[in-house]
Chain A
Amino acid sequence: MLIDRGYTEVRPLAGGLDAWVDAGYPVEELSE
């Protein structure tokens, strides 16, 4: 969908949020 709208530099994060958390990088709380 993003690429269809002309966004050429779209990349998924391998492993998603879990990979980011497992690597020990900071996260912030959502206010939902």
Chain B
Amino acid sequence: MLHHLIELILRYGVPLVFVNVFLEQIGAPIPAVPTLVVAGALARNGQMSSTHVLAGALVASILADWIWFLLGRRYGYRILRTLCRISLSPDSCVRETEAYFDRWGMKSLLFAKFIPGFSTVAPPLAGAMKASTLEFLVYDAIGAFVWAGTAVAGGRLFHKAIGKLLKRLEDLGWWSVVFVGSVIALVVLVKWWQRRTFYRQLRVARVTADDLKAMFDRGESPIVLDVRTRGSRQRDLRRIPSAIVASSPEEVAQQLEQISPLSPIILYCT
């Protein structure tokens, strides 16, 4: 089986790398790093060209990211929330991604691909923030080059070890496919279960906009905390009437000193 896989990489090398990287960057749960590492090892053995592999990965990555960037520019934060909902990471991802952007700006695209989850969410966020297309493409291209380059260089560097590993897996025949498939299935299952539990807890605890309005109308005066990031608040200067602004954990702690632990607290992001 693995023999066929390597044959496939050798025969369709660059197009395969292109499709794999594109699918991963567009959001499909198909990791591209193993393909890049194997391609790097094959390139070290003279069976492929590192330059072609890197070029294929670079174009695929920029293309996928650019699609997300344009979607972010058109649909704003709604596209981010949709992305976070379908990803297997918890739904705090919009806020966490924003925090990276607030801190590093467009430079965060340079390392975005090394952070799970952030990779797909960063381009639409840059689009939603109306970043310049040229600036986005420059930072995104450098980030993609560093990411793909690291994987290919890793493959070249450890080509002997990778060759041995592939040989062992090949010796196992179909059992290697069962083993690798089981590990991937287990990881996805655990993440899915965590997300399911997280959403269940959240659904029970959440209040809707109608619930909150009804609380105000009944004169219950809950404490409303606006926990959006500073950047997000600057982009949208509205808030729920009387909401207390607290972006960082320090600001939240400071505000808490004036709030009784018995008070009902409602917090909101974008």
Instruction: Give the residues in chain B near A11, CB-CB below 8 Å.
Output: 205-207, 264-267
**Given the complex of chains A and B, what is the CA–CA distance between A25 and B228 in angstroms?**
19
Q: A13 and B267 in contact (CB under 8 A), knowing A23-B209, A25-B213?
A: yes
Q: Tell whether, in the assembled complex, residue B239 and residue A28 are in contact, meaning their CB atoms are under 8 Å apart.
A: yes
Instruction: Give the residues in chain B near A6, CB-CB below 8 Å.
Output: 261
Instruction: Give the residues in chain A near B261, CB-CB below 8 Å.
Output: 5-8
Confirm or deny: B219 has a beta carbon within 8 angstroms of a beta carbon on chain A.
no
**Given the complex of chains A and B, what is the CA–CA distance between A27 and B265 in angstroms?**
18
Q: Tell whether, in the assembled complex, residue B265 and residue A2 are in contact, meaning their CB atoms are under 8 Å apart.
A: yes
Which residues B231-270 have CB closer than 8 A to chain A? 233-234, 236-242, 245, 249, 252-253, 256, 259, 261-270
Instruction: Give the residues in chain B near A14, CB-CB below 8 Å.
Output: 206-209
**Given the complex of chains A and B, what is the CA–CA distance between A14 and B33 in angstroms?**
36
Instruction: Give the residues in chain A near B253, CB-CB below 8 Å.
Output: 1, 5
**Given the complex of chains A and B, what is the CA–CA distance between A25 and B240 in angstroms?**
9
Give the interface size bracket for A toward B: 20 to 34
Q: Tell whether, in the assembled complex, residue B238 and residue A12 are in contact, meaning their CB atoms are under 8 Å apart.
A: no
**Given the complex of chains A and B, what is the CA–CA distance between A17 and B245 in angstroms?**
13
Q: Tell whether, in the assembled complex, residue A29 and residue B238 are in contact, meaning their CB atoms are under 8 Å apart.
A: yes
Closest to A18 in B: B270
Instruction: Give the residues in chain B near A28, CB-CB below 8 Å.
Output: 238-242
Instruction: Give the residues in chain A near B249, CB-CB below 8 Å.
Output: 1
Q: Tell whether, in the assembled complex, residue A16 and residue B269 are in contact, meaning their CB atoms are under 8 Å apart.
A: yes
Q: Tell whether, in the assembled complex, residue B270 and residue A27 are in contact, meaning their CB atoms are under 8 Å apart.
A: no
Instruction: Give the residues in chain B near A27, CB-CB below 8 Å.
Output: 238-241
Q: A9 and B263 in contact (CB under 8 A), knowing A1-B249, A1-B252?
A: yes
Kindly identify which residue among A1, A26, A32 contacts B241, using a CB–CB cutoff of 8 Å. Answer: A26
Instruction: Give the residues in chain A near B269, CB-CB below 8 Å.
Output: 16-17
Tell which of A9, A11, A23, A28 has the most Cβ of chain B within 10 Å: A11
**Can you name 26 A-B pairs with beta carbons within 8 Å?**
A1-B249, A1-B253, A5-B256, A5-B261, A6-B261, A7-B261, A7-B265, A8-B261, A9-B264, A11-B205, A11-B207, A12-B205, A12-B206, A13-B209, A14-B209, A15-B209, A17-B236, A18-B270, A23-B210, A27-B238, A27-B239, A27-B240, A28-B241, A29-B238, A30-B233, A30-B245
* Extra inter-chain contacts (17) besides given A9-B264, A11-B266, A17-B270, CB under 8 Å: A7-B259, A7-B261, A11-B205, A11-B206, A11-B265, A12-B202, A13-B207, A13-B209, A14-B207, A14-B209, A16-B270, A18-B78, A20-B268, A27-B238, A27-B239, A28-B238, A32-B234
Interface residues of A, Cβ cutoff 8 Å to B: 1-2, 5-23, 25-30, 32
